[in-house]
A = this chain, B = another copy of it.
Amino acid sequence: MKKETVGFVGLGNMGNHMARNLIKNGYPIVVFDVNTDSTNSLKSDGASVASSPAEVASAVTKIVTMLPESSHVQEVYNGSKGIFSTVQKDSILIDSSTIDPSVSQHMASEAQKKGSVYLDAPVSGGVNAARDALLTFMVGGPETHFNQANELLSLMGKNVVHCGAVGTGQAAKICNNMLLGISMIGTAETMNLGMKLGLDPKMLAKILNMSSGRCWSSEVYNPVPGVLEGVPSSNDYKGGFGTALMTKDLGLAQSAATTTKAPTPLGSVAHQLYRTMVNHGLGGKDFSSAYLFLQDKNQK
């Protein structure tokens, strides 16, 4: 039985892999991206290419979007050639971008006016997880529509979690990344302090990981070069999750914290430190380069 065609807008580092996983699972897709190299590459893999989000929305009733920031989401959905200009009744719109939860909520209410449904479904896991369909999706939206979205999302990830009403997917994502951002700097300063006190870094990591200090950053993504293999810190902080992106996510967390009047003392300091790291040229390096930033540069 032929599968229904799916639309995909946003074919960047993450989106192009996600779209390909739909193709691999037998779904015809129609795609749009402002970058024609990206669309050409998908075309050669079998995708149809549309000239605008509006054209995608007039062709199909299931669309996935994967965009860098809130402003792109507003343009792709609400712009003059945006999805909402042509969206069909009962369409399902799944936005996997990481953006401000209040923007997600606004998009959902616009979608509702058009008789369609918008769900926020941001992801955790990086480029490799996108390629290997190992992403985790955190989904916000009504239960019934979650089940419809789940069918597609489970082809692109291994975990699809329903978090609650629209916007809660974003909320879960920025909460996770705030705690991650804090833990990573905490791990970096702890490892650096321990080494200055005479501890071997592998020994210290072992002790932390068998004790109450352990966290994802100390266990599977240690920021000190040489402690673990195959992580960015052991590859000159290349690849991974860029400091500029972490800074952006912590900015979303701060904005949400201000709106909800929730104090986030460590989240705000972490945000400012990553911001300063970006200013010092580390924006394109993995965020575990916090360790590099704290190092004493006079000792070389």
Contacts and interface: CB of A to CB of B under 8 A. Distances in A.
Interface string A166-196: 0110011001111110110111011111101
Range class of the A interface residue count: 35 or more
Interface of A: 101, 124, 136, 138, 159, 161, 163-165, 167-168, 171-172, 175-180, 182-183, 185-187, 189-194, 196-200, 203-204, 206-208, 210-218, 221, 251, 253-258, 260-273, 275-276, 278-281, 283, 293-298
Contacts of A191: 175
A190 B129 CA distance: 24
A268 B270 CA distance: 10
18 contacts: A124-B212, A136-B211, A164-B200, A167-B198, A171-B199, A175-B199, A176-B207, A179-B208, A179-B213, A183-B186, A189-B265, A193-B253, A196-B261, A261-B279, A262-B275, A266-B270, A279-B297, A280-B280
- The 9 lowest CB-CB distance pairs between A and B, nearest first, are A215-B215, A179-B213, A171-B197, A182-B186, A196-B260, A268-B268, A176-B213, A175-B194, A265-B272
B168 A256 contact: no
A176 B280 CA distance: 26
Contacts of A273: 265
B212 A214 contact: no
Contact of A204 (B172, B194, B212): B172
Given A207-B176, A218-B179, A265 B255 contact: no
Most chain B CB within a 10 A radius of its CB, from A216, A270, A279 = A279
B251 A258 contact: yes
A179 B187 contact: yes
Contacts of A296: 261, 278-279
